[in-house]
Structure 1
């Protein structure tokens, strides 16, 4: 789990290193541009001494490689530009927090700032009133005014940093979607098993074209609270939100509330089945299948497919994880569609059978010592033939494959 973004955490950030990365990325993008144009130019000028069918093929390949390389440089430049924007946002808001915290702690009111951005006084209002005698009421009012002012500024800046960190990460990696299909495909290792290779290739979906948004908010959040569902807003793709809004329109707010609880039900069942493998292992395969089976039973296979696939439309989703999830989701929907009246226990037994028979897909990401494998060795594998100890999530951010679903 990532470290929560608290006041001490963000004040300890050294964003100058990120700024250095921006410079390096821009210089690298420029160098790639220069090299690509120069190399392509030499190939283009080869007609005089390589006038043959093979020469023409080489020039065509050179032209295609030039496009791929220039596009990759553009992506690197876009990443650098995005990162520079986020660093500026972080720096300005960190400055506000640092300055307001300093002012609060140096004020006459004996104030301090909590890790979550709250401003409090070490003295009660009674003690403050007693200290200022006949001016006690005015002193209390002044102290509360300054406490509120400091807290509003600090909390607003911390909230903005959290939002930039969460939403910005999704928008930032979305730049990787700009790589050409040839580049995406060439950097992804394909399994030797032909069926797994097909799953990796075909069980991919396009990234959302719209920016992610926090949901539920506004009227939907109020309606959920009215039925006792207190759901904190989380970052969802536009397609996820559209699917939930459609469910609201067709089935009512109760169905939305129920849909929001199903992941927790699936998580608990997966932990009971195989605790410790819910990160791209057998427990994760179980979780996805059971979740989709329940959604199919309750809301229909079409809606379940729309929503589950929309969940995978986050930018630059790792291709192995995406293939694993989409495949296991489909298995789960088939179970739910074929057994519409099955009890939860019966559904779980059917899901467990799929995992243990080896039809489900997991990810091999560690060696037998538990050490992470290099990216080129991380791959989807069958659930039965894979030791649970070597499963896990791929390291880093994946280069997405072209969408097929």
Structure 2
């Protein structure tokens, strides 16, 4: 059940009409980011990370900026949002293997919804996109970037939702098939087309920078 973004009531219809879902092959081609330089980042304050943390250069720059504006408390709050995304995803989708499945999809979307609520859509988009600037399998990268976007949309359409309500909305979106997971064949699939806990693993193929992998044969006409 989705919240009414204006009135705070409930709305039956899913966020994204299922007959309008995009072609998954096109999603894989479109939802890719350039590989960023990896760095070891640590805050200027003692206590957030015990050790330096490996992340993309852009992520580090954004955290430096957040720290300069909000100090240690702001950086700690950012960390708490990430931890909450992990713990809530584990409670909502208790599966043996999280990566590439429904728990993973929920976590990415809920994390983006929380970041959008706290910092605005631009910050959430920029940071979540920078987070994917590693050398990822193309289908996993597309899955994460797409689910991130769904989470941001949910937050912007429900600006007064509590954290629990955001989690409920994201969980409903997973159930409605608005999210993407990896199926048993290692391909992208809508979250309502794969039973929870029965997902597969990314196929290991990586797109060459600037040269998306054509995969029309990978996604049959009925996959949307």
Scaled by the length of structure 1, what TM-score is found?
0.44
Cα distance in 2 between the residues matched to 1:236 and 1:266: 18
* Structure-to-structure mapping, 1:22-61, within 5 angstroms: none
Cα distance in 1 between the residues matched to 2:121 and 2:209: 25
Does the residue aligned with 2:23 lie in a helix, a strand or coil? helix
Asked if the contact 1:319/1:401 (under 8 Å) is kept, the reply is no
Instruction: Tell me the C-alpha RMSD between the 2 structures.
Output: 2.0
Cα distance in 1 between the residues matched to 2:140 and 2:116: 22
How far the C-alpha of 1:198 sits from its partner, in A, is 1.5
Cα distance in 2 between the residues matched to 1:194 and 1:354: 15
More displaced 10-residue stretch of structure 1: 257-266 or 354-363:
257-266
Asked if the contact 1:288/1:325 (under 8 Å) is kept, the reply is yes
How far the C-alpha of 1:341 sits from its partner, in A, is 2.5
The residue number in structure 2 matching 1:393 is 201
How far the C-alpha of 1:323 sits from its partner, in A, is 0.3
Q: Which has the higher contact order (CA 8 A, sep 6+)?
A: 2
How far the C-alpha of 1:387 sits from its partner, in A, is 1.9
Residue 309 in 1 paired to residue 117 in 2? no
Asked if the contact 2:112/2:148 (under 8 Å) is kept, the reply is yes
Asked if the contact 2:186/2:200 (under 8 Å) is kept, the reply is no
Cα distance in 1 between the residues matched to 2:207 and 2:55: 18
Residue 197 in 1 paired to residue 20 in 2? no
The residue number in structure 1 matching 2:152 is 333
Does the residue aligned with 2:189 lie in a helix, a strand or coil? strand
Which residue of 235, 253, 266 maps to 2:85? 266
Scaled by the length of structure 2, what TM-score is found?
0.78
How far the C-alpha of 1:297 sits from its partner, in A, is 0.5
Q: Please list every run of 5 or more consecutive structure 1 residues that lacks an aligned counterpart in the other structure.
A: 1-192, 367-376
The residue number in structure 2 matching 1:213 is 39
Cα distance in 2 between the residues matched to 1:329 and 1:403: 22
Larger Rg: 1
How far the C-alpha of 1:247 sits from its partner, in A, is 1.5
Asked if the contact 2:102/2:197 (under 8 Å) is kept, the reply is no
Cα distance in 2 between the residues matched to 1:336 and 1:203: 20
Asked if the contact 1:204/1:402 (under 8 Å) is kept, the reply is no
Does the residue aligned with 2:54 lie in a helix, a strand or coil? strand
Cα distance in 1 between the residues matched to 2:115 and 2:155: 8
Does the residue aligned with 2:62 lie in a helix, a strand or coil? helix
- Distance change >3 Å, CA 338–CA 231, structure 1 → 2: farther
- Distance change >3 Å, CA 238–CA 388, structure 1 → 2: same
How far the C-alpha of 1:251 sits from its partner, in A, is 3.0
Cα distance in 1 between the residues matched to 2:81 and 2:210: 27
